[in-house]
Amino acid sequence: MWTCLLVATIFSLQISGAPLCTAPLASPSSAVAFAETHRQTEAEATRPELTSALSRLKTRQKIRVEALNVHPLEGRFLSVAGDSLVVGKEEKHLITPRSVPIASIQRLQVEKDGRTVGAVMGGFLGAIFFAALGAAGTGSGDRFVSEGEAALVGGVFGAVIGTVVGVAIGSTVKHWEPVYPKR
């Protein structure tokens, strides 16, 4: 804000003919452009975490925004236009764009699914279950395959099957992950 006042003061002194600096401003629009650019830079500097979070959003990604004087809003990220975040609110098969001032954003979350956790858990549990099943399935008199080999083959098979099933189940589980502020 002080920067805007300083630029306006310098510009008004320049018009009045008072020699204040050696590099005169070309026009009122250049002073305004300088002030606007500097204002945006100051806003970004005060909340770099939010600026970083906004830059990582993907178009049409499902987000939840909580801002001052705005009801919590869920929808699809459309764009950042000037000093506003544009969110597409889904209403009856239509997407209505809503604008949220970036300066008022208090919390920003993205929707994630549980595929990664499902893959790890499914692979681990599948490997243990099928390894135990493979080891138990061999008799002590089996000459073709040992207990350890059967457990190894069962474990690898179980890990693959468990991972596939875990990804399928995990993709149906949704949760909100905060991106601003990070916790």
Here the CATH number for the domain that contains residue 94 is: 2.30.30.100
Average pLDDT of adjacent 10-residue blocks, the chain of 183 residues: 39 43 46 46 63 91 91 92 90 86 93 94 96 84 80 95 96 92 77
Which pLDDT score is estimated for 183? 67
61 and 104 in one domain?
A: yes
Which pLDDT score is estimated for 31? 45
Residue 181 lies in a domain: no
Which pLDDT score is estimated for 176? 92
Q: How many domains does the chain have?
A: 3
Residue 33 lies in a domain: yes
Task: Provide the residue range defining the domain that includes 58.
Answer: 50-111
Residue 130 lies in a domain: yes
28 and 81 in one domain?
A: no
107 and 54 in one domain?
A: yes
| CA-closest candidate to residue 69, choices 120, 103, 118 | 103
Distances (CA, A) of 146 to 18, 42, 70, 133: 97, 70, 67, 13
119 and 152 in one domain?
A: yes
Residue 183 lies in a domain: no
Which pLDDT score is estimated for 46? 52
125 and 142 in one domain?
A: yes
136 and 158 in one domain?
A: yes
Contact 112, 176 (CB under 8 A): yes
Which pLDDT score is estimated for 146? 85
Residue 8 lies in a domain: yes
Residue 34 lies in a domain: yes
C-alpha to C-alpha distance for 123 and 127, rounded to whole angstroms: 6
Contact 149, 102 (CB under 8 A): no
Total-model pTM: 0.57
Which pLDDT score is estimated for 19? 44
77 and 33 in one domain?
A: no
The whole-angstrom distance between residue 67's C-alpha and the CA centroid of its chain comes to 17
59 and 105 in one domain?
A: yes
Which pLDDT score is estimated for 122? 96
> Beta strand pairing status for 94-101 and 105-113?
unpaired
Contacts of 48 (CB under 8 A, 6+ apart): none
Overall size of the chain counted in residues: 183
146 and 98 in one domain?
A: no
Which pLDDT score is estimated for 141? 66
157 and 104 in one domain?
A: no
85 and 128 in one domain?
A: no
Which pLDDT score is estimated for 144? 79
C-alpha to C-alpha distance for 162 and 127, rounded to whole angstroms: 7
Residue 17 lies in a domain: yes
Q: Which two tokens stand for residue 177?
A: 């992950």
